[in-house]
Structure 1
Amino acid sequence: MAESTSDLAELEARLQITFHDRRLLERALTHHSCCPETAIRDSYDTLEFLGDAIISAHVVEYIYRNFPEASEGEMTSLKSEVVSRRVLSRIGRQLGLFEFVRVDTASLRTFNERSRDSLCTDVLEALVGAIHIDQGPEVARDFVARWILPVVKDVHKQLFNSNPKGRLQNIVLQRSGCLPR
């Protein structure tokens, strides 16, 4: 639970960002279970919405620029996997975000490893939204480039290696103009 100034300073050091308005950072870490009456104003939900869109936009642009020979379908698959809970929660865990999340687990019906992953994903997205609001679009872009974009090539390799049938279909389609029968 991040409540002390030293906790927030530790997180800012991990993120390599110093917030002008620490209330935005606190909000990005606060699950709506901690503030059910004022969740719209005090929880990370709307920051998560903004951050999700920002991350997606930067990931899509990166894919477009770095995989120009990929089809729209391949780009869509790659983007979907990069911004998935599985991938973003792994990044959130690498940053150690869960230890800073403010959540009232007693008010949740269930709390398990999947909940932890979901919280890490939500908070990572909310942090990107908070960074964008507090620091501006360039700092948010730099954060995404530092923490999220490096996984795109690894995810691409995994997707490419895990679907040989799809790979063959794409090769035939590119060479002949029609799918194999």
Structure 2
Amino acid sequence: MNETNIPDNLTALETLLQVTFSDRTLLRRAITHHSCCPDTAVHDSYDTLEFLGDAIISAHVVEYIYRTHPDAAEGEMTALKSEVVSRRILAQVGQQLGLFPFIHVDIANLRTFNERSRDSLCADVLEAIVGAIHIDQGTEIARNFVMRTVFPMIELVSTHTLDSNPKGRLQKVILQRTGNLPRYRVLEQSGRHNDRVFLVGVFDHDQLLGTGKASSIKEAGRLAAREALQLLQKKDKRLSANDTTA
């Protein structure tokens, strides 16, 4: 796609971003690849805005993880943050927003261009736009934009992490909170032979944390741990929200 084939519609882009710029040259710069201005790239391309936006997104994501995952270890927080701000996730956010049609890039001057290049451009421009919003509109508006676009990915990535080893993660959480190990107990068993279904509960002492139902005790226990983690996370968020409004 050549730059001349891209509609210069900054108003439509502002509508998409839900942000109105005071200085539209910043927005134009945030969507301009250096292939379009090789001699003036430092001032006219998104490169330095991308550098700023990357740092801003990382800072907001780290704070959000710290506030919403109080029982996570530093290593777990780092792993979650690294995944959320990865090129893959930011490219996905940029593609979902629909940024690519607005990007100014001279494809003829690129060595190669494919789907991976498109994703990389969307990730770059997303970061540059955050940097431009921060300069033009201030910290709060930039944070609100990151909150709308990037924060939902934190929960998706976190849920995937919980799915991978929920029993191990729950054990860490309960040990940190109470010093106890979670205990699993078969609450119900129904069916016969190959049609058996087990209902398993996971407890901290006598407190039921979650339940799971499956055709094997092992899988039912995994589902119980997953539910317990989700319920604990929701409880922590409610407490965090109450502390903020108090």
Per the TM superposition, whether the score is higher than 0.5 is: yes
**Which residue is equivalent to 1:93?**
95
Aligned residue identity for 1:39:
A
Q: Which has the higher contact order (CA 8 A, sep 6+)?
A: 1
CA-to-aligned-CA distance 1:68-99 (integer Å, 9 cap, x gap)? 00000000000011101111111101111000
Query: Which residue of structure 2 aligns with residue 126 of structure 1?
Result: 128
Partner residue, 1:12:
14
Between Structure 1 and Structure 2, the one with more helix by share is: 1
CA distance in 2, matches of 1:69, 1:132: 31
User: Deviations along 1:133-173, whole A, 9 cap, x unmatched?
Assistant: 01111100110111111211111011222356964884698
Equivalent of residue 71 in structure 1, options 63, 70, 73: 73
Question: What one-letter code is carried by the residue in structure 2 that aligns with 1:48?
Answer: E
Q: Which amino acid aligns with 1:15?
A: L
Structure 1 letter corresponding to 2:69: F
Q: 2:183: which partner in 1?
A: none
The change in CA–CA distance for 1:102 and 1:135 in structure 2 (over 3 A counts) is: same
Q: Distance in 2 between matches of 1:166 and 1:78?
A: 16
Residue 45 of structure 2 corresponds to 43
Kindly report which structure 2 residues correspond to 1:1-181, keeping only aligned pairs within 5 A, or say none: 2=6, 4=8, 7-163=9-165, 167=169, 170=172
Counterpart Cα distance in 1 of 2:163 and 2:86: 18
Higher strand residue share? 2
C-alpha separation in 2, matches of 1:166 and 1:40: 48
For 2:148 and 2:31, locate their aligned partners in 1 and report how far apart those are by CA, in whole Å.
20
Query: Structure 1: any 5+ residue segments left out of the alignment?
Result: 177-181
- Number of residue equivalences: 174
In 2: Cα distance, 1:81 partner to 1:50 partner: 19
Which aligned segments of 4 or more residues in structure 1 are displaced greater than 2 angstroms? Answer: 1-4, 162-176
- Structure 2 segments unaligned to the other structure (5+ residues): 181-246
Cα 1:110–1:17 change in 2 (3 A) is same
How far apart, in 1, do the equivalents of 2:173 and 2:133 lie? Answer: 41
Please tell me whether the aligned partners of residues 72 and 173 of structure 2 are also in contact (alpha carbons under 8 angstroms).
no
Give me the CA root mean square deviation: 2.0
State the percentage of identical aligned residues. Answer: 68
Q: Structure 2 CA distance, aligned partners of 1:117 and 1:28?
A: 16
Output the amino acid matched with 1:56. S
Amino acid at match of 1:152: I
**Secondary structure of the corresponding residue to residue 125 of structure 1:** helix
What corresponds to 2:197 in structure 1? none
